[in-house]
Amino acid sequence: MPLIQSLAVGLLACAVHCLAPAALADSSQPGAFAVSQRTVTVTRASGTTFTAQIRYPASSAAANAPFATAAAPAPAITFGHGFLSAVNLYDSTMDHLASHGYIVIATTSEGSLFPNHANFALDIRQCLTWLEEQNALASSWLVGDVNTAAFGVSGHSMGGGASALAAAADPRIKCLATLAAAETNPSAAAAATSIQLPSCFITGAQDAIVAPSSTLGQYNNCDAPRQFVSIAGGSHCGFVDSAIIACDSGTLPRPDQLAKTRSLLLDWFDAHLRLQSSAFTAAWGVGTPIAGTTTTRDARTTLTLGASTLSGAAGTKPLETTITITNIGPDSTAFLLRANSSPFDVSFVPATIAELAAGQSATATVRVASSAAGNASVVIDVVRGRDAAGASAALTVNFTAPPTSPADLDHNGVVDAADLAILQSSWGKCAGCAADFDNNGVVDAADLAVLLANWS
C-alpha cells in the first residue's frame, strides 16, 4: 500500500476506532486505563538474558493483572533509564503513557558504574523483539495485543542518548522522544545523522548535568522531522520522580516539570503512533504551546497559503486560495491535506499530493463553503505520508450573510423549486402578493421571468 494511502487509511481508522486515543484538554492528566506492572525476562540474540519492567493498560491496578482487551492492539514504547538511575524513578511517566493505552517496556540492564552504551541500545531494541515474540505466541498474556507497526523509543540522560542510537539503527521504530539526552559512546550525536524518523529532543533549560547545548548537537545532526523543546526552569533530575545522589534542581518544581513532560510525550506519541489529529495540532500545529516551554520545530516541510484571509457571501460559490507545499527532504514523501476542526465545508483539490522528492514543491487549492454567515480560523494541516509529521497554517475565513433576492419567497437563501411553487399558487390577480415582483397587482409571466432570472 502506498505510504499516503496507508496514512489516509490509518487516519480514518483512528477516527472511527482509536482506543483511548482522544487527547484530553490537558494531556498531562491520566488516561482511562488502570495500569499494571510485570517484570519480564528478555533473551538476547546471544542467548544471554536481562530483565525489563513493563507497564501496560490492564483490567486492574494489581501486579500482573490481565491486559485490558479494550486497548488492543496497543502501540508500544521502549524506554532507556539514566546513568545509575533505577527504572522505577520513571514510574509516573511510564504509568501515564500506559494509562492512555500504551505498552511501555524498560530494560534494567547497564545499571553499573561502567555501562556499555552500545549494548544498552541493543537491549532497548531487543525489548521490541520480545514484544513481537509475545504478540505472536499463542500462550502469551500479550498474544494479539501489541501493535507491532507502532513502536516508539524514549529515554532519559544516558538512556536518551542510547535511544537515539537505537532509533538510528532500527527501522521498526517510528518516532523518538528523548529527555535530556546525553552524549554516548558510540556517539549519539553522530548517530543522529542516520535518524530518519520524527525526533523530539526535550531538555530542561537549567540542566546542570547534561547541558542543553549537548542535546542540541543531536538535534542539529538529525536530518528528519525534528523538534527541540526547552522547559523553562527545568533541571536534569526534574525528569525523575525523586532526587538521587548528585542530582541537580531548577526553579521549576519537579511535579510541574513532570506534568509538562507527560503532556509532551503523550502528544508526540499520539501524533506519530496513533495518527491522531488533535495530537498533531499539539505537536506540529498552530495551537498554543504548553506554558513554560519553548519549541523549535523543523518539520522538513514548508506550507504557504496564497491568502491568509478569505471573505465572501455565504450560500454562493466556495471561497478559494492556494497552498504550496515543499518537501525539504532528505527523503521523498507524499502528503495528505486536511482541515482540522473547521465549522465550514472545506475541501482540497487534490486531497493528496503525490510523492515529492527532496526540494520539490506542489500546489493545491483549498475551497471553503458555508450556507450561513460566520467567521472562524480554519487550521490547514499538511501531513507527511512517510512519518505523520508535518506543518499547519491558520486561514481566517469570514462569510457574510447570503445575498437576498425578492424571488427567494421562502427566505432560505436560494431561489429554487419551492419558490416556484409559491409563485404558482399565487398566479393571477393577487394584490400585495410577495410573488408580484413588479407590483402590478397580477402574478404573471413577467414575475415568472424575474424568478427564473434569480434561480440559484
Picking from 34, 187, 192, the residue whose alpha carbon sits closest to that of residue 176 is: 192
Q: How confident is the model at residue 9 (pLDDT cuts 50, 70, 90)?
A: very low
**CA–CA gap between residue 102 and residue 72 (Å, rounded):** 9
- pLDDT tens digits for range 237-262: 999 999 998 899 999 999 999 999 99
What pLDDT score was predicted for residue 104?
A: 98
- pLDDT higher than threshold 90 for residue 16: no
Q: Please, are residues 450 and 443 in contact by the beta-carbon 8 Å criterion?
A: no
How would you write the chain as a 3-class SS string? Answer: CCHHHHHHHHHHHHHHHCCCCCCCCCCCCCCCCEEEEEEEEEECCCCCEEEEEEEEEECCCCCCCCECHHHCCEEEEEEECCCCCCHHHHHHHHHHHHHCCCEEEEECCCCCCCCCHHHHHHHHHHHHHHHHHHHHCCCCCCCCCEEEEEEEEEEECHHHHHHHHHHHHCCCEEEEEEECCCCCCCCHHHHHHHCCCCEEEEEECCCCCCCHHHHHHHHHHCCCCEEEEEECCCCCHHHCCCCCCCCCCCCCCHHHHHHHHHHHHHHHHHHHHCCCHHHHHHHHCCCCCCCCEEEEEECCEEEEECCCEEEEECCCCCEEEEEEEEECCCCCEEEEEEEECCCCEEEEECCEEEEECCCCEEEEEEEEECCCCEEEEEEEEEEECCCCCEEEEEEEEEEECCCCCCCCCCCCCCCCHHHHHHHHHCCEECCCCCCCCCCCCEECHHHHHHHHHCCC
How distant is the alpha carbon of residue 310 from its chain centre?
27
Q: How many residues does the chain have?
A: 456
**CA–CA gap between residue 291 and residue 42 (Å, rounded):** 40
**CA–CA gap between residue 97 and residue 324 (Å, rounded):** 36
- pLDDT higher than threshold 60 for residue 74: yes
Which region among 56-60, 282-286, 335-339 has the lowest average model confidence (pLDDT)? 282-286
Instruction: Please state the rounded mean pLDDT for residues 100-113.
Output: 98
- Cα distances from 233 to residues 219, 293, 315, 332, in angstroms, run 20, 9, 52, 38
What pLDDT score was predicted for residue 130?
A: 98
pTM recorded for the entire structure: 0.85
- pLDDT higher than threshold 80 for residue 363: yes
- Into which CATH architecture does domain 301-400 fall? Sandwich (2.60)
Amino acid identity at 435: A
What pLDDT score was predicted for residue 317?
A: 85
Name the average pLDDT for the chain. 92
What pLDDT score was predicted for residue 286?
A: 75
Instruction: Please state the rounded mean pLDDT for residues 286-298.
Output: 89
Q: Where in the chain is the domain with CATH 2.60.40.10?
A: 301-400
Q: Please, are residues 423 and 451 in contact by the beta-carbon 8 Å criterion?
A: yes
Q: How confident is the model at residue 402 (pLDDT cuts 50, 70, 90)?
A: confident
What pLDDT score was predicted for residue 405?
A: 81
> Where do we find the cell 518537501?
327
What pLDDT score was predicted for residue 226?
A: 97
What pLDDT score was predicted for residue 401?
A: 84
Amino acid identity at 205: A
Q: In the chain, pLDDT over 90 holds for what percent of residues?
A: 82
Instruction: Please state the rounded mean pLDDT for residues 146-169.
Output: 98
- pLDDT tens digits for range 193-239: 999 999 999 999 999 999 999 999 999 999 999 999 999 999 999 99
Amino acid identity at 237: C
What pLDDT score was predicted for residue 10?
A: 45
Instruction: Please state the rounded mean pLDDT for residues 356-382.
Output: 95
Q: How confident is the model at residue 24 (pLDDT cuts 50, 70, 90)?
A: very low
- pLDDT higher than threshold 60 for residue 327: yes
How many beta carbons lie within 10 A of that of residue 317, not counting itself? 9
What pLDDT score was predicted for residue 431?
A: 85
Q: How confident is the model at residue 25 (pLDDT cuts 50, 70, 90)?
A: low
What pLDDT score was predicted for residue 385?
A: 95
Q: Where in the chain is the domain with CATH 3.40.50.1820?
A: 3-298
What pLDDT score was predicted for residue 22?
A: 39
Torsion angle of the four alpha carbons 172, 177, 181, 185, in this order, in degrees rounded to the nearest 10: 10
How many beta carbons lie within 10 A of that of residue 187, not counting itself? 17
Strand pairing category for 226-231 and 199-204: parallel
How many beta carbons lie within 10 A of that of residue 106, not counting itself? 25
Strand pairing category for 333-340 and 361-369: unpaired
**CA–CA gap between residue 158 and residue 341 (Å, rounded):** 40
**CA–CA gap between residue 29 and residue 23 (Å, rounded):** 10
- pLDDT tens digits for range 408-430: 888 777 889 999 999 999 999 99
| CATH number of the domain located at residue range(s) 3-298 in this protein | 3.40.50.1820
Higher pLDDT, 55 or 9: 55
Instruction: Please state the rounded mean pLDDT for residues 258-279.
Output: 96
Strand pairing category for 199-204 and 173-179: parallel
Contacts of 275 (CB under 8 A, 6+ apart): 7, 10, 11, 14, 388
- pLDDT higher than threshold 50 for residue 8: no
